[in-house]
Structure 1
Amino acid sequence: MIYLTEKDILEAATSEDMLDAIEASLRLYEKKEFHMPQRLHVDHEDNVLLLMPCFTKDYFGTKVVTLFPENPAKNVPVLNGIMVLNDAQTGVPVALLDGPALTAVRTAAVGAVSIRHLAREDAHAVGIIGAGVQGFYQARAACSARNITDIFIYDLYPEKSSALKDKLSKALPDVRVHQAARVEDLLEETHIVITATTSLEPVLPDKEELLAGKHFVGIGSYKPEVREFPKALFGLLKTVYIDTEHALEESGDIIVPLRNGWLAQDQIMTLGRFLTEGKSQDQVKQETTFFKSVGMALFDVCASKLIYENSVRKGLGQKIVR
């Protein structure tokens, strides 16, 4: 068994490889060639423990995640965890992976797969709303899906936008990175907009003229009462794409529009279904499009398989002797 740190995970697989692995997992989801028990959610005082298992043909895995909201006061991240990957034939654990790093790269890849298939081909400017960890990884992955020349960042806290700008400028030296003073400024300059916030209310203006013709990726809303997108967006959409049917029960960006009649049930489609049906993407890429991700354990297992097998080949990780 090997232990893989954040550094190992980033070295093990390119962004392009991760996009391919996640796209394959979306197709696997449609074929139902996996077993994903309901995740265990435990609330203890103000903290949360999540256990997320999934079984596939070659491997199964369980991600253990903790969310401790008071951690920043202790200079500790809110999100911590670890992924255990097991051989499906023997049950033997083969790898332990850093949980936050795995979550970051696979979530970013999910968003980028939607960019690959739904965003206009000539899109070259991406906007990031929310300058946290996920903002960095989403911007990085987006550059693997399109020829991105400019990234615009907006956050309620300018110092966070500035820090992310510096980090992205170092990681992506060939891309111009800008700090937007207002969300409206970001929208006027970009073709792809990714929201990765903890906001309870929409972070975009309720104005169709500022939203039309873009591809939107929603990452932040993971509770029924949490929304990042305004009513105006749904009047522009023919279809809303989701990663898993769990979004219908988990995300306010789907639940609220359905409840209020802004969105009809037959307008919702999984991205995997869109990919497996093999329809022409040319027309869709000219439309206003929206992809909402809530994540699932299948992504963790498929991403971990890629990272583990590449790590063994490259000699990465620390061997743990049983």
Structure 2
Amino acid sequence: MSDVTHSPDLVIVPSAVVQQVLDTLGKESKEIVERIYIEAAKGNLVNPDSLFLRPDPPRRERVIALPAYVAGEPPVMGIKWISSFPGNLSLGLPRASALIALNDPRTGFPRAVLEGARISAHRTALSAAVGAEALREGDRAVERLAVVGTGYIADTTLRVLANLGWSCQQVAVHDLDAERARSFATEHAGTFPAGEMTVAGTLREALSGADLVLFATTAVDPYVSTPDWFAPGSVVLHMSLRDLTPAALAGASHVVDEVAHALREKTSLALAVDEGTVAREEVRPIGDHLRGEVRPDRSRTAIYAPFGLGSLDIAIGGLVAERAIGLEGVVTVPGFSAS
């Protein structure tokens, strides 16, 4: 007789509870991101390629499946299913929506479904923070931060940076929608208490003199044309992946989450490697920096472009599911699976 205890029940964790748990994790979730990046650099992840579904290929709408298995105690296994529909913004809806489905690693049966957009934004913001800290060699005091794109990812990233003890003397915000940029600047006026928040009328104005740059747009076509748009020695968090032309990547240090993943789907870096502007062997995983295998060259612009690893979503989702047990708002569906 098997000693495996199987529950046919399914736990559903809605958005409000997900956020409630995320707010309690502190540096714990950052440590998860760092650990997974180190394992990625060692080649130890079970993290298949993301799968892209484009209902109408010429359009910008897409849904992405990111499966992963994360070893540990306890192990966790599942998939994130996240959509990006930029047209939602004109409807007053968020661009992205997602769910995370977790399976029991012993039996494979589904055990939990979590609202995934908050987890996805949280881990993306943590990815940015981990990359920035590694490439700035622990220096969390920023003279000028440029924020390009003022959606949910930029919002979450600024909050995560502040919660992790980062300071910014100046924050320059730029968005194609000037009203969104103004609203974002107003909302974040106190995020960095000693910082001055301004709205930049042009992209060049936002980037001028910035020692840390955050790209969090929905761009599909590169528009930053030359590397001189960036201050020497700056760290560029290229979270939206497609803002920079191959020419703009020339001469920089290039860092990703996992090399093979990052060189897909016509990202700026993939185009630059295909064109020969950037040599593939010069692209390094952030985990090499975290484990001390390589140090950043602070004299060069460093461009960090993490493609997004499902392992991060699944690991943090597993922790959220565990901590959500017993909280108000969590729903259990008895007998969801056949027993």
Identify the match of residue 59 of structure 1 among 73, 76, 79: 76
Q: Please report how far the alpha carbon of residue 296 of structure 1 lies from its aligned counterpart in structure 2 after TM superposition.
A: 1.9
Q: Measured at CA, do residues 52 and 260 of structure 1 come closer, stay the same or move farther in structure 2, by a change above 3 Å?
A: closer
Identify the match of residue 212 of structure 1 among 222, 232, 235: 232
- Answer with 155-164 or 136-145: which moved more: 136-145
- Answer with 158-167 or 5-14: which moved more: 5-14
Indicate whether 1:105 and 2:122 are aligned: yes
User: What secondary structure does 1:44 align onto?
Assistant: coil
Q: Measured at CA, do residues 15 and 292 of structure 1 come closer, stay the same or move farther in structure 2, by a change above 3 Å?
A: farther
Identify the match of residue 273 of structure 1 among 257, 275, 288: 288
User: What secondary structure does 1:159 align onto?
Assistant: helix
1:63-109 deviations in Å (ceiling 9; x for gaps): 12234455445544342221112332243444322121111111111
Q: Measured at CA, do residues 68 and 291 of structure 1 come closer, stay the same or move farther in structure 2, by a change above 3 Å?
A: closer
Structure of higher RCO (CA pairs closer than 8 Å, 6+ residues apart) = 2
**2:80–2:99 CA contact under 8 A, matched in 1:** yes
**Equivalences, count:** 313
Scaled by the length of structure 1, the TM-score of the pair is 0.84
Q: Please report how far the alpha carbon of residue 205 of structure 1 lies from its aligned counterpart in structure 2 after TM superposition.
A: 5.9
**1:127–1:153 CA contact under 8 A, matched in 2:** yes
**2:181–2:199 CA contact under 8 A, matched in 1:** yes
Indicate whether 1:165 and 2:185 are aligned: yes
- Answer with 153-162 or 164-173: which moved more: 164-173
- What are the equivalent positions in structure 2 for 1:117-156 lying under 5 Å apart? 117-119=134-136, 121=139, 122-143=141-162, 144=164, 146-156=166-176
Q: Measured at CA, do residues 307 and 53 of structure 1 come closer, stay the same or move farther in structure 2, by a change above 3 Å?
A: same
CA distance in 2, matches of 1:69, 1:164: 18
CA distance in 2, matches of 1:194, 1:206: 17
User: What secondary structure does 1:35 align onto?
Assistant: coil
- What are the equivalent positions in structure 2 for 1:5-24 lying under 5 Å apart? 5-13=14-22, 14=25, 16-24=27-35
- Answer with 59-68 or 74-83: which moved more: 74-83
CA distance in 1, matches of 2:193, 2:142: 19
CA distance in 2, matches of 1:279, 1:40: 31
Indicate whether 1:37 and 2:48 are aligned: yes
Q: Measured at CA, do residues 39 and 214 of structure 1 come closer, stay the same or move farther in structure 2, by a change above 3 Å?
A: closer
Q: Measured at CA, do residues 169 and 297 of structure 1 come closer, stay the same or move farther in structure 2, by a change above 3 Å?
A: same
Residue 305 of structure 1: aligned partner: 318
Q: Please report how far the alpha carbon of residue 36 of structure 1 lies from its aligned counterpart in structure 2 after TM superposition.
A: 2.5
- What are the equivalent positions in structure 2 for 1:241-256 lying under 5 Å apart? 241-244=255-258, 245-256=260-271
Residue 277 of structure 2: aligned partner: 262
* Structure 2: gaps of 5 or more residues: 1-9, 335-339
CA distance in 2, matches of 1:208, 1:220: 20
CA distance in 2, matches of 1:260, 1:248: 12
Identical aligned pairs, as a percentage?
20
CA distance in 2, matches of 1:69, 1:168: 23
Scaled by the length of structure 2, the TM-score of the pair is 0.80
Report the AA paired with residue 163 of structure 1: S
Q: Please report how far the alpha carbon of residue 218 of structure 1 lies from its aligned counterpart in structure 2 after TM superposition.
A: 0.5
Report the AA paired with residue 50 of structure 1: I
CA distance in 1, matches of 2:274, 2:281: 14
Q: Measured at CA, do residues 258 and 64 of structure 1 come closer, stay the same or move farther in structure 2, by a change above 3 Å?
A: closer
**1:154–1:186 CA contact under 8 A, matched in 2:** yes
* Structure 1: gaps of 5 or more residues: none
Residue 228 of structure 1: aligned partner: 244
